Amino acid sequence: MFVKNHKQKILSSEKYLWAYAYIICFLLSLFLLSSSNICFAKKQNELYPIIYFEQGVRYHKQGDLKSAVLSLNNALTLNPNDLSTLVELGEVFIELSKFDLAISTLQHAVSLAPDDALIHVLLGSAYLENKKHNDAISEFKLAVKLEPENTLLRSNVGLVCSLTGDHKCSVDNLGKVVLAYPFQLRVRAALGTAYHSMKDYALAKEQYKFVLEYEPDNLSLWYNLAKSEVALGNYTDAKESINKAISIDSSVSELYLDRAVINYKLNDLEGAQNDYLTALGLDPLNPSIPSEYGTFLWRTGAYLKASEQFDKALSLETDNKDFMMYKAYLLQLAKQDKNAISAWQNVLNEDAENQLALFNLAKLYQEKESYSNAIDLYKKILVIKEKLKEEDLETKSALAYCLQKNKNFDEARSIYENCLSVKPDDPVVLFNLGILLNDEKNYKDAVVSLEKSIKNGFLPQAKAYQALVLAYSSLNDVPSLKATYKNWLGVDKDNVEARIAYAKFLAKNGDSHEAIDQYRVAAALDNTSKSKYKLAQFLLEQKDLYGAVGQLQEYLKLEPNDLNALILLANSYKDLGIQEEAINTYKKIISLQYDNHLAYYNLGLLYQNDKKYEEAQNCLLKAIELNEKYSPAYYALGLSYIAGNNGVKAKELFQKYLEIDPNGEYKANVEARLKELSSKTQPPA
């Protein structure tokens, strides 16, 4: 993990190798010069070339490089093939950073003395400085071939090979140096880096640990060792190593970022968060740090906080399109739809044809059921894809779905069929087409499409079976419908609504016992107890009052104030003749709903049955007060007054009944009672 645009205190492996390579080149040049057969003063017999050459050497030693070049060029003018002068001039050009001139000069020298290791080393150094690594390696390898026992040469080859990415070459050469000189710590460190680059982390770790025994304060090596441990999956050891690095220098933000990743791997989320916050404090202007912290928060599901970190990164690097997209996507994941839409639109303002932004924005509109907006965006994507001559079935399928939701069935069906011509077994397209055909009431074709979607692995299968139930129900295909219900419950056995639907189907088709069984299973599965209520309703339809009472009692334990259930229970008690329980239940209903005239009416009837006429009359009068048009209350109250020998009141109430409901349920009874009352009040003839 590397932090961009950050001044690190850790010396990177590549910079280290460059520095070490140059030191090796310099030492090697001195060594070879001291043992070379080139005798500068003896190469020419002419006076002037020797004078110019010696003058150039003197200027070189004094550091007057420009004068040295002038003198050496004068010598070469008189003798262009003088090897000593060419080598000296090549060295001066390297020091002047005129690498092209150094290369051409030393190439001439090599052509005169191809077996001179020194010249190959100098030419290799010039290539190295000129960033021509492969040419540098070729020259160094020639030098090694000429002097195979020269470990300095091998060190240089190994280091330059690392710079070019030829890590095998680096390992081969540095490994031989380490075998010969096991305590060459810098070479061992470079060898560790080469192994690391070859992903041989165990051998890299071995080299790092060896060097750290002698250089325990080498922050760079502790850091590299930690990375090797991470690659090997040894997160606890990796954390120990990076802790050592932090103890050496606690101001390097990169160390905390890497330790945060290790803590995350160790499931220490609090430790990881603290490390990210420390890194932010150390380097508040580095956009990569909030970016990495945001990625961590993303992984832990803290989408809104993650979006805030990418927003911070974006404030530090305003033109970073990746940050813009991550922020938008995270807002979308966090269900911050309004902000997510705005963020995606910002991305599109920068890049109007950003397909990822177009697609995600379309998905957002689709989820919000803003299908027209989604359709426009999906169509834009398909125009771009057409220009690129690319197929995009996912976008086509999504477009068709939105068209379908917008009731544009013909265009939707055409796109679905186009998708299936390319990928005939696409389960999602087959399912959506089946739904569309259901919407069009083309149930036969819907069945074919839905069955194919299930066969090709559509998930969730329960959703497809549910759509099939609609199709088979509309076709009145009872055998297929029963089989579909069974298949549905086979893949979704805990689906309460499916079981209740199946129970209703069974009851409708005369299998009430199996229907009750399905209701009971649904009731056992249902944490909300709603199924118990539905089972009670079904049992009441089946005239199983005791069974209904049992289910209602269980349901009311969880939902004690459900008025509908209380009314059913009170009525069931009344029908079963359980007077006291019925009275108490109606009282509970009235306590919850003081204006329920039916509760007062039924309570009045119960009191009347118990011959508690005063209580009955009070309840029935209250029922009439709450609903003056409810005729049965007048009839019941009239009967109560007859029982209390108040014929006048009873007559008034019976007459009121006929006035309100002249063709009511109790008309005949009322007329008979009135006739009876009239005969009692007439004087004898």
Q: What's the gap between Cα 457 and its chain centre?
A: 24
Task: Give me the half-sphere count of Cα atoms (radius 13 Å) on the Cβ side of residue 604.
Answer: 26
Tens digits of residue pLDDT in 342-355: 999 999 999 999 99
The tokens of 385 are what? 């894809």
pTM of the model: 0.63
Say what the pLDDT of residue 682 is.
53
- Write b or e for each residue in 203-241: b if 16 or more Cβ atoms lie within 10 A of its Cβ, otherwise e: bbbebbebbbeeeeebbbbbbbbbbbbbbeebbebbbeb
DSSP one-letter string for 521-542: HHHHH-TT-HHHHHHHHHHHHT
- Residues 140/163, Cβ–Cβ less than 8 Å: no
- Write b or e for each residue in 295-318: b if 16 or more Cβ atoms lie within 10 A of its Cβ, otherwise e: bbbbeeebbebbbbbbbbbbebbe
Cα separation, 464 vs 451, whole angstroms: 8
- Residues 405/369, Cβ–Cβ less than 8 Å: yes
Q: What's the gap between Cα 530 and its chain centre?
A: 35
Q: Residue 629, Cβ neighbours under 10 Å: how many?
A: 10
- Residues 559/532, Cβ–Cβ less than 8 Å: no
How open is the CA angle 56-61-63, to the nearest 5 degrees? 95
Say what the pLDDT of residue 167 is.
84
DSSP one-letter string for 527-592: TT-HHHHHHHHHHHHTT-HHHHHHHHHHHHHH-TT-HHHHHHHHHHHHHHT-HHHHHHHHHHHHHH
Question: Which is the CATH superfamily of the domain at 479-681?
Answer: Tetratricopeptide repeat domain (1.25.40.10)
- Residues 160/137, Cβ–Cβ less than 8 Å: yes
Residue type, 13: S
Cα separation, 531 vs 48, whole angstroms: 115
- Residues 242/262, Cβ–Cβ less than 8 Å: yes
Cα separation, 379 vs 384, whole angstroms: 9
Tens digits of residue pLDDT in 84-99: 999 999 999 999 999 9
Which residues of the chain, if any, have pLDDT below 70?
1-47, 681-685
Cα separation, 472 vs 208, whole angstroms: 72
Mention every residue, 6+ apart, whose C-beta is less than 8 A from residue 32. Answer: 117, 118, 121
Q: Which ranges in 406-460 belong to alpha helices (H)?
A: 409-422, 427-439, 443-455
Give the relative orientation of helices 443-455 and 461-475 as an angle to the nearest 10 degrees: 160
Say what the pLDDT of residue 440 is.
94
Say what the pLDDT of residue 4 is.
35
How much of the chain is in helix, strand and coil states, percent to nearest 5?
Answer: 80, 0, 20
Mention every residue, 6+ apart, whose C-beta is less than 8 A from residue 176. Answer: 151, 154
Say what the pLDDT of residue 433 is.
96
Q: What's the gap between Cα 634 and its chain centre?
A: 68
Say what the pLDDT of residue 207 is.
94
- Write b or e for each residue in 349-371: b if 16 or more Cβ atoms lie within 10 A of its Cβ, otherwise e: eeeeebbebbbbbbbbbbeeeeb
Cα separation, 124 vs 139, whole angstroms: 5
